[in-house]
Amino acid sequence: MICHIEVYGCQMNAHDGEILAGILKSSGHTVVNNAKIAEVIFVVTCAVREHAETRALGRVTHLAGMPEKKPIMVLCGCVAQEHGEKLLKKMKLLDYVIGPDLYHRIPDLLLEGNRRLSLTEQGVEKYENVSPDRKQFPRAFVTVMRGCNNFCTYCIVPYVRGRERSRPVDLILNEIKGLVDLDYGEITLLGQNVNSYLHNGVDFPKLLEKVSEICEGKCWVRFVTSHPRDLTTELAEVMASKENICNQFHLPAQSGNDRILKIMGRGYTRKEYIEKVKMLKRLMPDIVISTDMIAGFPGETLEEFEDTVSLLKEVRYDYAFLFRYSERDGTAALNISPSVPMKERLRRLSILQELQAEITLENSRKLVGREMEVLVTGVARRPGQMASRTMGNRLVILESLNYNPGESVQVKIVRADGYTHFGEPIKE
């Protein structure tokens, strides 16, 4: 059948979309990027905030009406896991609701043709025997672990993704060897909490070292996401000692206030967090650091919010993903009072956004005039331009189409606009 897959949410989901495409292709289906001609439409959804959920469901309704013949509609991902059967009953246009651990069942379901089914048993699925159909050459995602055991009190992820499980080292290394042979230029090791990786005595720093060796001279290596509590000096030392491990760290703080961090269940204090940032900067002076922050967590006072503002100022992140708190069913934070009114959450969010935009721009401008290597990733949004990335994962626009994805180019940064930079080649 002709299948169209649309993905929302985090990089785990983006890669799950590639896993799903791999499963469909290996059982003889065709995967296209065109909803109009599709016989089956898959929407891989995110449930992390209410907005993400509503958006994905709105998209399902829109997509169902697109092809002339009514397509088979399959809702996948975290919203599927969260609402399962309930959603199937509510949305008559859905044919299947399939949780993130059950994608390998889809080919059989399509063959059997018994529509209106919901499958959401949670297991320990690691998709070990699937070859993902990767869509982002020269950048490849490789899952190292799935799930999360942290249960931060605001977060739905541990409920929809299940418990932590790590993929076997050999499997990961073999997958990466294959990608290096295919000339991929960048490998991103993926997991909700990569620092919890553990398989037969191999922990994350050891795994990273092995991956870096396989990729040496050929391929950059990065990873997401790390929990600040689990970031060790050992990991930072591995990063600093290997040239092809990107000096980039996504280290979500969530808040700058100790009481809020405590009721979020994060397991570190502001001071401990800042110490880790300092350690990273000491070992890798040019490191690019980003964060996630939540504004308006239940009970957050103005003074406590100011601590988040001051953390942004103190760390001076290169980039930050900023959110207003969103209530999620089943999470512990629902029982924490008083809730911060939505208007106030939005006000606090916009304060963080304005401040961070200034910091991001200031950091970006510091790069103007510097020379660095970039990896060409593909065409840019504007015609006549190509996009590339620095080792710090900064976007650099090249004003020419004379490059191939996967090519390494030495550029000089000539201009910066927010997180986007413009580069000129310094040698052909």
Q: Which residues bind ligand SAH (CB under 6 A)?
A: 48-49, 148, 154-155, 157, 192-193, 225, 227, 252, 254, 292, 294, 323, 325-326, 328
Q: Out of 31, 46, 288, 375, which residue is the one contacting ligand F3S (CB under 6 A)?
A: 46
Contact 132, 17 (CB under 8 A): no
* Angle at 20 (CA atoms; ends 17, 24), nearest 5 degrees: 140
Best CA proximity match to 7, nearest among 50, 46, 64, 35:
46
Across the strands, what pairs with 223?
Answer: 189
- Residues belonging to the chain: 428
| Bond before 405 cis per omega within 30 degrees | no
Structure tokens at 355: 């401040």
Q: Does 155 bind ligand SF4 (CB under 6 A)?
A: yes
Which of ligand SAH, ligand F3S, ligand SF4, none lies near 47, with the C-beta cut-off 5 to 8 A by kind? ligand F3S
CB of 9 to ligand F3S, least distance (A): 3
Q: Which stretch binds ligand SF4 (CB under 6 A): 16-24, 121-129, 150-158, 295-303?
A: 150-158
How many other CB atoms sit within 10 Å of the CB of residue 383? 7
Best CA proximity match to 7, nearest among 130, 107, 135:
135
Q: Does 9 bind ligand F3S (CB under 6 A)?
A: yes
Q: Out of 47, 98, 294, 374, which residue is the one contacting ligand F3S (CB under 6 A)?
A: 47
End-to-end CA gap in the chain = 45
| Torsion 147-152-157-160 (CA) sign | positive
Across the strands, what pairs with 288?
Answer: 248
CB of 227 to ligand SAH, least distance (A): 6
- Per-residue x/- track, 228-247, ligand F3S (CB under 6 A): --------------------
Radius of gyration of the chain (CA): 22
Which of ligand SAH, ligand F3S, ligand SF4, none lies near 208, with the C-beta cut-off 5 to 8 A by kind? none
Which residue in the block uniquely carries the two structure tokens 């991103």?
188
- When the beta carbons of 160 and 231 are compared against ligand F3S, the nearer one is 160
Which of ligand SAH, ligand SF4, ligand F3S, none lies near 78, with the C-beta cut-off 5 to 8 A by kind? ligand F3S
Which of ligand SF4, ligand SAH, ligand F3S, none lies near 98, with the C-beta cut-off 5 to 8 A by kind? none
Contact 424, 414 (CB under 8 A): yes
- When the beta carbons of 22 and 191 are compared against ligand SF4, the nearer one is 191
Pairwise CA distance, residues 100 & 245, whole Å:
29
C-alpha dist (Å) from residue 228 to 145, 156, 193, 252, 317: 17, 19, 10, 7, 15
Q: Does 43 bind ligand F3S (CB under 6 A)?
A: no
Q: Does 250 bind ligand F3S (CB under 6 A)?
A: no
Structure tokens at 127: 């998709």
Which of ligand SF4, ligand F3S, ligand SAH, none lies near 12, with the C-beta cut-off 5 to 8 A by kind? ligand F3S
Structure tokens at 233: 């000096």
Burial of 59 (0-12, 13-18, 19+ CB in 10 A): middle
Q: Out of 45, 193, 195, 360, which residue is the one contacting ligand SF4 (CB under 6 A)?
A: 193
Q: What are phi and psi of 340, to 5 degrees?
A: -85, 130
- When the beta carbons of 192 and 255 are compared against ligand SF4, the nearer one is 192
- Tell me the site size for ligand F3S, rule CB under 6 A: 12
* Angle at 241 (CA atoms; ends 236, 247), nearest 5 degrees: 60
CB of 46 to ligand F3S, least distance (A): 3
| Residue least distant from ligand SAH (Cβ) | 292
Site for ligand SF4 in 50-89 (CB under 6 A): none
Pairwise CA distance, residues 169 & 276, whole Å:
27
Q: Out of 4, 6, 13, 172, which residue is the one contacting ligand F3S (CB under 6 A)?
A: 13
CB of 336 to ligand SAH, least distance (A): 12
Pairwise CA distance, residues 81 & 99, whole Å:
4
Which of ligand F3S, ligand SAH, ligand SF4, none lies near 160, with the C-beta cut-off 5 to 8 A by kind? ligand F3S
Residues that bind ligand F3S (CB under 6 A): 9-10, 12-13, 46-48, 77-78, 157, 160-161
Residues that bind ligand SF4 (CB under 6 A): 148, 150-152, 155, 157-158, 192-193, 227
